[in-house]
Structure 1
Amino acid sequence: MKLGVFTVLFSDKSFEAMLDYVAEKGIEAVEIGTGGYPGDAHCKIDELLNDSKKLQDFQDSLSKQGLIVSALSCHSNPLHPQKHIATEGDRLFDKTVMLANQLGIPVVNTFSGCPGDHEDAKYPNWPVSPWPNDYQEILKWQWEEKIIPYWREKAAFAEQYNVKIGLELHGGFSVHTPATLLRLREACGPAIGANLDPSHMWWQGIEPVESIKILGRENAIHHFHAKDTIIDQPNMNRNGLTDMTPYSDMKERAWYFRTVGFGHDSKEWADMISALRLYGYDHVVSIEHEDGLMSVEEGFTKAVETLKPVMVKESVGEMWWV
């Protein structure tokens, strides 16, 4: 298992400067954005797809630092009811899969997307209550008419390119829990898996270790993010977990993101790493930073310091003691 970082943290640095910086910190893998919400500061996808020299230079820069790419990430909403938004996300996903294939990168990370509630909708509709029954009707239409048909096609496309799809389980999108991920995987095939981020499990009331077990039993974890969350219980009592308070108003929010180790201690992170290994995950733990209380550099450094001691680097082989 390798320790990595989602390089969107360092979008202010050039590609080479970013690689120098993270390698000096002991990072072994990078997750790189190709556009969409993460931006494309370190990967101009059209240039790389159409210029073999630039593609080779990109690979050489990584090799020089001894780094691998754990995933390419193109988080967007390809099911957005506004066609121009959906089309942009769809085209970016296809290009990212093709680039991942050319570079030998195993995973493309994104969101499942969230449709509207009918064909002429303008905005996504994320049902979070089973009643009144209108919400059940919306959910049924979304899954049968939009979500499953789209991702069935994309799963087949990714399989043609020998790439796995890591859907980040994130509130506001149709796939946001282990159950919704497994529902889509059952309908679309094993190319669909999770980019599992424990920070999004905590705020939904899901224990991350248990989510690892649920998904790990199905071999459905394709990638893993490292980001923490803290619950402010008095605010949770008032606002509930679907808190719409702006992220910037941290004093009033029911929960907010923290750097690794500042929401949950190293023992809980060790338990997650151990559960990942128990269920066969041996890829990358990719640090993400969305902590409103400390700088990117400080948060990233503290995350590395917390995770390095609990990473499992070597498999056991034979159990010599039995």
Structure 2
Amino acid sequence: MKLGFLTACLPQLPLGDIAAWAAAHDYQALEVATWPSTGSREFEASHIDVTGFDKRRADEVSALFDRHGLTLSALAYYENNLHPDESRRAEIAAHVRANVDAARLLGVDHVGTFVGRHPGLTVKENIALAERELPPLVEYAGERGVKIIIENCVMEGWHPDGYPGNLAYSPELWEWMFDLGLYLNYDPSHLMWLGIDPVEALKPYIDRIPHAQAKDAQLDPRARNRYGFFGRTVERADGWDSGWWRYRVPGLGDVDWRRIVDTLYEGGFTGTLSVEHEDPVWSGDVRRITQGLEIAHRTLRPLIVG
């Protein structure tokens, strides 16, 4: 197992600077953000431009990672593959394929994304849509030796009422997407506020988890007494503000990282555990963000052998 982090938390820095910082602070891997520079998400980052990516550029990126002794664990483009606008959906699918092509040139095994959701359709209708849209991407990736990994983020901000915007949030849905040939980029933080035990959910599926993310969640049950499980309604300033929980860097929330890492080892996991830094306390500027990454490292590195 290697400890890494997702570069999306540092959109203002070039990849070379991030790699140098990671190596100097005893991180072993990077999950590299590849959103287009004009993408649709407010927290996008573009540390590798996969559009028109070629062998020359692949050699440059590989040399950068070799120079710093780092592993490139995955390319990361977490977007809505079931977007309600068909033209936008086609753009997203094309960018997933571009990520797969870049991963093949780089010798990277994994491309991360979301299933997503069309918010105007029922879950049953979305599943039927996914069963049409996703298998061609899985086939395209498989022909190039790449696995598509899906993060189990709820993406409640993508739904107008704060309901799940990514149909990969529970073990029931994991089993469905495994049948489509997809893999799981497991993140325990999302399970915490859903009321799912992240260790018990992890145990049966480790053979379908080639990559994992490390993000914590801090729960406030007293606030939940006001808003209920689904979070704020009248007082909701934006789709991401539930009012009773928030993401934290590992060690500052309620996830039991000793049990998570031990369960991964017991199940034979040999991939990368990649810190996904979305902590509002340790955000704002580069110094603050990297301090958050240092906190995550102090929490996780002692648990990882080698």
Query: What is the TM-score with the length of structure 2 in the denominator?
Result: 0.87
Deviation at 1:206, TM superposition (A): 1.1
Distance in 2 of aligned mates of 1:309 and 1:116:
42
Deviation at 1:54, TM superposition (A): 2.3
> In structure 2, what is the equivalent of residue 29 of structure 1?
29
Deviation at 1:152, TM superposition (A): 1.9
- Which residue identity is paired with 2:262? S
- Please say if 1:165 is aligned against 2:155: no
> In structure 1, what is the equivalent of residue 126 of structure 2?
142
Change (3 A) 1:242 1:273: same
> In structure 2, what is the equivalent of residue 240 of structure 1?
228
Deviation at 1:139, TM superposition (A): 2.2
Unaligned runs of at least 5 residues, structure 1:
118-124, 126-137, 314-322
3-state SS of paired residue (2:64): helix
Change (3 A) 1:248 1:296: farther
3-state SS of paired residue (1:213): helix
Q: Is the 8 A contact 1:259 1:300 kept in 2?
A: yes
1:115 to 108, 115, 118: 118
Distance in 1 of aligned mates of 2:112 and 2:194:
21
2:246 to 240, 256, 261: 256
> In structure 1, what is the equivalent of residue 66 of structure 2?
63
> In structure 2, what is the equivalent of residue 39 of structure 1?
44
Distance in 2 of aligned mates of 1:234 and 1:247:
21
How many residues get paired?
283
Deviation at 1:309, TM superposition (A): 0.7
- Which residue identity is paired with 1:273? V
> In structure 1, what is the equivalent of residue 18 of structure 2?
18
Deviation at 1:291, TM superposition (A): 1.0
Distance in 2 of aligned mates of 1:98 and 1:292:
34
> In structure 2, what is the equivalent of residue 311 of structure 1?
304
- Within 5 Å, give how 1:198-209 maps onto structure 2: 198-209=188-199
Change (3 A) 1:116 1:41: closer
Unaligned runs of at least 5 residues, structure 2:
155-164, 283-287
Distance in 1 of aligned mates of 2:274 and 2:23:
14
Distance in 2 of aligned mates of 1:255 and 1:247:
14
Q: Is the 8 A contact 2:3 2:27 kept in 1?
A: yes
1:106-160 CA distance string (max 9 Å, x none): 111100011244xxxxxxx5xxxxxxxxxxxx2222212x011222222211110
Deviation at 1:174, TM superposition (A): 1.5
Greater gyration radius: 1
Distance in 2 of aligned mates of 1:162 and 1:241:
40
3-state SS of paired residue (2:192): helix
> In structure 1, what is the equivalent of residue 176 of structure 2?
183
Change (3 A) 1:246 1:274: farther
3-state SS of paired residue (1:62): helix
1:159-200 CA distance string (max 9 Å, x none): 1011111101121211211210111212x13xx111111111
Distance in 1 of aligned mates of 2:86 and 2:279:
33
1:233-292 CA distance string (max 9 Å, x none): 111122123224347997x81111111101137xx2011011111112111010111111
Distance in 2 of aligned mates of 1:28 and 1:249:
31
> In structure 1, what is the equivalent of residue 160 of structure 2?
none
Query: What is the aligned-residue RMSD (CA, Å)?
Result: 1.9
> In structure 1, what is the equivalent of residue 292 of structure 2?
299
Query: What is the TM-score with the length of structure 1 in the denominator?
Result: 0.83
Q: Is the 8 A contact 2:231 2:243 kept in 1?
A: yes
Q: Is the 8 A contact 2:2 2:271 kept in 1?
A: yes
- Within 5 Å, give how 1:218-233 maps onto structure 2: 219-233=207-221
Q: Percent identity, please.
A: 27
Select between 8-17 and 31-40 the one with higher mean Cα deviation: 31-40
Change (3 A) 1:101 1:239: same
